[in-house]
């Protein structure tokens, strides 16, 4: 089963790896006989695929899938048939969102995996905890101050476990930077600069789907950047204190299209020709089944025009974040870059560390005018440049010394080699032989710390003023 969470995201070489480098994968005890936890999946869009594949595949000895919850029966049909395989539909029990408590009780659910749209997380997570289940939730934890309060209140009242799936922590390139910082090689951190570039396939995709509505996603500063803010919080082992933000919609949307003279455009990508920004759902069997064939049930259009009306999120964003320990972060996100990757610079009292990552070096077009998602697979056919090869490098340079390259071990799975390792912790964390020295597993407090930066940034965008995170009253001391 395909485990990619986003069909438009780059597929780095680590995605094809089958063996991780030394020390990357934790040690786990053998699964006890009959020790499967009963798992329900809440939200059966594309993102659910990674978890469904894990439960029915590598981790079937510790987890069993017992129920679906989604308002769209077509999407449930897709996964139920996938799980059933050649034998036919699995016919797992299915529930509507208002039946979550009933599902937990009737199916004796131990763990609820929440992969529903962001704005629904707080309600679903809090109700699942109150119903007596542990929760695994996709980032972001939630999108609002009120959502944070509801979740933190439910955790305090129930004592149940909540796992955040911050898979970027598990990417070896990111955990290697944490090793460097924790070693003291660059001294005490004074500042971090973090630049993330989303290309015109992956970045554009956020402007086709429900993420384009800030009420649903919190914008990229919450939906996407919570990954990045969590990394900085984790790298520094510190808590964000104050945020000042600037941002705007400068590339996508109908106003920008008009100003650039793009002319009339179809409202959706399916059926469109000669437009590299159009997504034709017929080209991907999974997307076709989950969305095009299922839109009759709820009217959700997955392939909206990125230059159409109704987009309320930003595509260019910049932040300054002050940390309690004294370090500061400068952060930028661009969602219309010609290449995809990120650069992180960490300055310290004894030196500097620099992490450079190219996830996709270019988006080139086929003779039919369609984006080639993996031009590196056949570079001669598309004339891709050797000037921006895919890969990652971590340089460490102490004062008065030459730079050295810090070795990055191989990972397994998507998201820089982190997905498969994350899933081991999600489903086998209770079988760990020893604690993770890097502290990669994330809980609800990590989720709050990450979205706190995005929520504060959104408030700063509205007011034009810096926002002190303690003033947000998120329901818990960070």
Q: What is the pLDDT of residues 445-462, one digit of tens each?
A: 999 999 999 999 999 999
Residue 288: both structure tokens together? 């076709």
Q: Note the pLDDT of residue 35.
A: 83
- Percent of the chain at pLDDT > 90 equals 84
Q: Give pLDDT, residue 370.
A: 84
Is the per-residue pLDDT at 16 higher than 90? Answer: no
Tell me how far apart the alpha carbons of residues 305 and 439 are, in angstroms, rounded to a whole number.
41
Greater model confidence, 388 or 1: 388
**pLDDT tens string 430-446:** 999 988 999 999 999 99
311 sits in which H/E element: none
- Asked if 211 and 218 count as a contact pair (C-beta separation under 8 A), the reply is no
- The closest alpha carbon to 166, from 175, 177, 153, 158, belongs to 175
pLDDT band at residue 23 under the 50/70/90 scheme? low
Determine which helix (DSSP H) or strand (DSSP E) holds 336, and give its type and residue range: strand 328-337
pLDDT value at 261 more than 70: yes
Within 10 Å of residue 219's Cβ, how many Cβ atoms?
A: 27
**How far is Cα 255 from Cα 257, in angstroms, rounded to an integer?**
5
Tokens 């008009």 -> residue: 258
Mean pLDDT of the region 334-343:
97
How many whole angstroms from its chain centre is CA 395?
Answer: 26
According to the model, what pLDDT value does residue 19 have? Answer: 61
% of the chain beyond a pLDDT of 70:
92
Check residue 414 and give its pLDDT: 62
pLDDT for 255 beyond 60? yes
- Give the model confidence (pLDDT) of 223-247 as tens digits: 999 999 999 999 999 999 999 999 9
Cβ partners under 8 Å of residue 429, min gap 6: 163, 441
Q: CA nearest 4: which of 54, 38, 43, 40?
A: 54
* Res 18: pLDDT: 53
Q: Cα(28)–Cα(384) distance, rounded to whole angstroms?
A: 42
Say if residue 25's pLDDT is above 90: no
For 391-410, what is the mean pLDDT?
A: 96
Please say if the pLDDT value at position 2 is more than 50: no
What tokens appear for 203 in the block?
């970045």
């Amino acid at each position: 089963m395909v485990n990619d969470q986003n069909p438009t995201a780059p597929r780095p070489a680590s995605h094809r790896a089958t063996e991780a480098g030394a020390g990357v994968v934790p040690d786990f005890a053998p699964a006890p006989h009959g020790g499967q936890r009963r798992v329900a999946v809440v939200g059966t869009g594309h993102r659910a695929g990674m978890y469904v594949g894990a439960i029915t595949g590598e981790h079937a000895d510790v987890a069993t899938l017992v129920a679906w919850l989604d308002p769209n029966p077509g999407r449930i049909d897709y996964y139920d048939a996938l799980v059933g395989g050649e034998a036919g539909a699995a016919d797992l029990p299915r529930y509507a969102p208002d039946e979550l408590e009933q599902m937990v009780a009737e199916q004796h659910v131990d763990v609820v995996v929440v992969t529903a749209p962001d704005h629904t997380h707080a309600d679903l997570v809090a109700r699942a905890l109150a119903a007596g289940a542990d929760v695994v939730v996709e980032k972001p934890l939630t999108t609002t101050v009120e959502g944070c309060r509801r979740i933190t209140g439910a955790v305090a009242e129930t004592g149940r476990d909540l796992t955040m799936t911050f898979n970027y922590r598990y990417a070896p390139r990111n955990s290697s930077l944490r090793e460097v910082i924790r070693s003291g090689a660059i001294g005490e951190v004074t500042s971090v600069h973090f630049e993330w570039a989303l290309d015109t396939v992956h970045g554009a995709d956020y402007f086709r789907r429900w993420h384009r509505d800030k009420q649903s996603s919190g914008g990229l500063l919450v939906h996407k950047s919570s990954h990045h803010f969590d990394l900085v919080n984790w790298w520094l082992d510190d808590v964000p204190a104050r945020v000042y933000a600037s941002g705007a919609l400068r590339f996508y949307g109908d106003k920008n299209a008009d100003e650039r003279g793009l002319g009339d455009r179809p409202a959706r990508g399916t059926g469109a020709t000669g437009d590299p920004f159009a997504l034709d759902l017929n080209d991907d069997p999974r997307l076709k089944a989950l969305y095009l064939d299922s839109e009759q049930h709820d009217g959700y259009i997955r392939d909206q025009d990125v230059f159409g009306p109704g987009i309320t999120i930003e595509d260019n964003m910049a932040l300054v974040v002050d940390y309690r320990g004294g370090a500061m972060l400068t952060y930028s996100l661009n969602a219309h870059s010609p290449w995809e990757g990120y650069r992180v610079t960490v300055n310290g009292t004894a030196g500097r560390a620099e992490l450079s990552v190219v996830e996709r070096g270019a988006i080139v077009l086929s003779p039919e005018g369609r984006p080639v998602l993996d031009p590196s697979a056949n570079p001669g056919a598309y004339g891709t440049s050797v000037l921006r090869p895919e890969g990652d490098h971590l340089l460490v340079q102490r004062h008065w010394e030459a730079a050295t390259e810090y070795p990055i071990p191989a990972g397994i799975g998507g998201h820089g080699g982190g997905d498969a390792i994350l899933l081991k912790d999600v489903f086998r964390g209770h079988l760990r032989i020893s604690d993770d020295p890097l502290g990669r597993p994330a809980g609800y407090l990590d989720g709050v710390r990450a979205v706190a930066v995005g929520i504060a940034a959104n408030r700063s965008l509205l007011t034009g003023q810096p926002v002190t995170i303690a003033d947000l009253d998120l329901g818990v001391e960070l």
